Structures are given as C-alpha cells and as structure tokens.
Amino acid sequence: MLESTSLRAQLEAARTDRRRVLVIGAGIAGVTLARLLRGRGLHPVLVERAGPDAPSGYMLALMPLVDPVLAELGLTEAYRAASVPMNRYRIRSRRGSVVREYTMGRLLDAYGDYRGISRGDLMAVLGGGAVSYGANVIELDQRVDAVTAVFAGADVAEAEFDAVIAADGLHSATRGLVLEPEQVSGYETGWGGWVVWTDADADADLGEELWGAGWFVGTYPVKGRLGVIVCGPAEAADDGLAALVARIRTEAPAAGGRLDRVLADAADGRGSYYWPLYDKRSATWTSGRIALVGDAAAGFLPTAGIGAGMAVESAWVLAHHLAGDAPVLPALRAYERTQRPRVEAAQRNSRRLAPMMFNRSPAAAAVRDAAARFVPLGVALRPIRKLLDTRPSGL
C-alpha cells in the first residue's frame, strides 16, 4: 500500500536526484509511473488531492498490455493472486437470448493474461512508496530550466522540479493549468451507468453483457465479486436505477440466471454510483517540462475495456524516457511521439463501439443482434491484437 508522507519529507528524499519529478495524481497511471521511476533510482514526489479513503472505483478487464510492466515491477504473482482469468465473453440480445459466446484465451493467450480485477485491488498491487494526500497543485510556473509548483493543503507552499507529470485523471485540474480549453475535446455518448457490486457466481471466468435498445447491462468478474454496470440514456438518471432495472426486466425477461440475479441485486437499494459515459482527448501531451499521462492525456469510454491497460503502458513508456539520459524536453517529446498514436488508436476503437452498445433504436438493435451472431472473435479483437502485435518501440 502507499505510505502517507508529508510533502516536505518527499522533497527532502528527492533533493539530490539527478532529475526531480513531480507526479500529480495517485491513480493507476500516477502510481505506476512513480513506482517505475523509483525502481530506476529516482524519488518522484507523488501528490494526491483526495484523501486516503477516497472510493476505490470500479471493475477492470486488463489486456496483456500490462504484463511486461508488472513483470518489470516484480508484481506478476501479486497481480495474478488479486485477479481472475477472463476466458469467456457472452453477448445476450435485447430479448435476453444468447447471441454469441467467445473463448477469449484462444486468441489472447499467445500475448499473455486477460484478467478481471477491481480498481481497488489493482491499486493495492501497484501501491508502495510515499504519497502526500490532500496536496493540491494550484499553479505551475514554468521556466526554461525548471517548473515551480504551488501547493494548497500541504506543509510546503511551493517547490521546484525538473519535470511535472499530470496523472490526475479524466477530470484533471492540472490539464487546465497546461492547456487551453480548445486543446481538450471529448466524445459524449449521451448515456450514463450505475456501477454496483454483487456476489460472485460459479462462472468466475465469464464476462456477460445484455445489449438492449435504450439500455445496456455488463457483468464482469473480479476476485470474489461481480462488478455490474447498468446503463441508459442520461435522462434515465432522473428516474433512478430501480426504474431502469424494471424496464430491462420487462423487455428481457429471459436474460439468464446471472443477469436476473444481478438486476434484482441492483434494485435492492445497495450502494451504487453513477458514471456519466464520455471521454476526453488532449490535443498535445507535453508543454515544455510538463506532460500528461493516463486519463489526463486521453480518458477512455469503458466500451473496449482497454483504458486502464493503456494508462499502465503509457506510464511505462514515460518512465523509460524520463529516467533515461536524454534531457527532459526531448525525453517528454519522445514519450508523446511514441505513445500518443497508440493510445488514440485504442480510444478511436472504444468510440466506434459506443453506438453499438449504447443504442436507443429497436430496429437498429435487431440488426446489431443479427450481425453479432456472425462476427468471428478474430475480427472483434483485431484492433486490440494490432496493439499487442506492435508493442511500444524502444522498450
């Protein structure tokens, strides 16, 4: 786990580093980057504006993109112990019948593991080293030779760094200190979803989705639990989760044992949180000595299950360049040049899937369901296999 430490203590540890690095945001990308840099002899200063008890989030399906990163960190066994294999993927139609079931391992085993894990468990695996909670960066003053960061909520008001990395997520405040509003775009689905946790079942290797017209339900196994997301158009949020579940159960009365159960659980008043479904894309990832990584650079829709994996991979690429011998500015530019095309290609794939999964038209849904019966697994996974076949160069 991360160790809560004063900002002053972190600055003292980094004082004699050949490259003083500030990492803003202790999410997946930020923690991965900090741990990689520590393994390469630096003492990056990691700050997080939230407290240590902030909600740990949602469920993840991690592609084999993360395997070499976890191997470098010596975390492969810990990751496998905290996750479950995702060997099967099943799609059900708007009426609840099975459209197709894929065996994922047949095409992904050659690359490595495809596994389900909760965000909280992944953070526990990645955790290690110092972090200063409640420290908010409110200003960045960049000069030719350094960047001065101004803090609120910390025991130090300001400090100087050779490089500053914004890893503070989809809603990044740091991004607004670096880029102009017109440099940040996004894809709006017009939908949102409630995330609910429920008990695991006997199909611990199965991800199952129910594709409707005006709703969508996804169920994804993690260690000891099932993560569930129940989605609908944004206006459905006004009526609440129970109303949407009632509609789904009416329109898909034969959705199978798992989906029948999780829909009942979702409507029983247990804790849930609402997730508006949109993404973000930054037109540039670097500005002098400041760079963006993870969702701060390109935040993903959950439609392809690849956003967290790309955040881990991007942190790996950035650590490789930032801890190398090149000066800071060329190192950060090389990171962006290497990784941004890969991430944006993955993001485009996630966007292409959104209209198919978040569909309001019964007629279009009927066509989609019929077409899905004949799509081979190799075709469905082609964009992801292309990423796996072309790992980042130079690593």
Q: How confident is the model at residue 394 (pLDDT cuts 50, 70, 90)?
A: low
The pLDDT confidence band at residue 276, using thresholds 50, 70 and 90, is: very high
Assess if residue 387 is contained within a domain: no
pLDDT tens, 304-362? 899 999 999 999 999 999 999 999 999 999 999 999 999 999 999 999 999 989 999 99
106 with 202, same domain: the answer is yes
Q: Mapping DSSP to helix (H, G, I), strand (E, B) and coil, where does residue 98 land? A: strand
Do 287 and 338 lie in one domain? The reply is yes
CB 282 within 8 A of CB 174: no
DSSP 333-348: HHHHHHHHHHHHHHHH
228, 250, 278 — which closes off a domain?
278
Contact 90, 207 (CB under 8 A): yes
Which region, left, alpha or beta, applies to residue 128 given φ > 0 means left and ψ of -120 to 50 means alpha?
Answer: left
What ranges in the chain are assigned the alpha helix state H?
A: 7-14, 28-39, 67-73, 76-81, 105-108, 119-126, 175-178, 241-251, 257-266, 307-322, 328-357, 362-372, 377-380, 382-389
User: Is 329 a member of any domain?
Assistant: yes
14 and 125 both lie in a single domain: yes
Whether 385 is covered by a domain: the verdict is no
Same-domain status, 219 and 273: yes
Q: Based on the domain organization, do 271 and 233 belong to the same domain?
A: yes
Give the chain's domain count: 2
One domain, residues 241 and 349: no
Asked if 217 and 263 count as a contact pair (C-beta separation under 8 A), the reply is: yes
pLDDT digits (tens, 9 = 90+) for 52-101: 887 777 899 999 999 999 999 999 999 999 999 999 999 999 999 999 99
Is 370 inside any structural domain? no
Do 287 and 161 share a structural domain?
yes
Kindly report, residue by residue over 188-239, the tens digit of the pLDDT: 999 999 999 999 999 999 999 999 999 999 999 999 999 999 999 999 999 9
Residue 229 lies in a domain: yes
Decide if pLDDT at 17 tops 70. Answer: yes
Joined tokens for residue 250: 């009416």
What residue numbers bound the domain in which 175 lies? 3-55+121-186+281-356
What pLDDT score was predicted for residue 187?
Answer: 97
Task: Read off the pLDDT of residues 235-268 as tens digits, 9 standing for 90 and up.
Answer: 999 999 999 999 999 999 989 999 999 999 999 9
Residues 113 and 237 occupy one common structural domain:
yes
φ, ψ dihedrals at 92, nearest 5°: -115, 150
Last residue of a domain, one of 254, 278, 302: 278
Rg of the chain over Cα atoms, rounded to whole angstroms, equals 21
CATH of the domain at 103: 3.30.9.30
Q: Which of 339, 341, 353 is nearest to 301 (CA)?
A: 353
**pLDDT at residue 378 above 80?**
no
Are 107 and 245 members of one domain? yes
Which residue, of 278, 301, 334, is where some domain finishes?
Answer: 278
Q: Are residues 167 and 268 in the same domain?
A: no
The verdict on 162 and 196 lying in the same domain is: no
- For residue 47, the domain's CATH number is 3.50.50.60
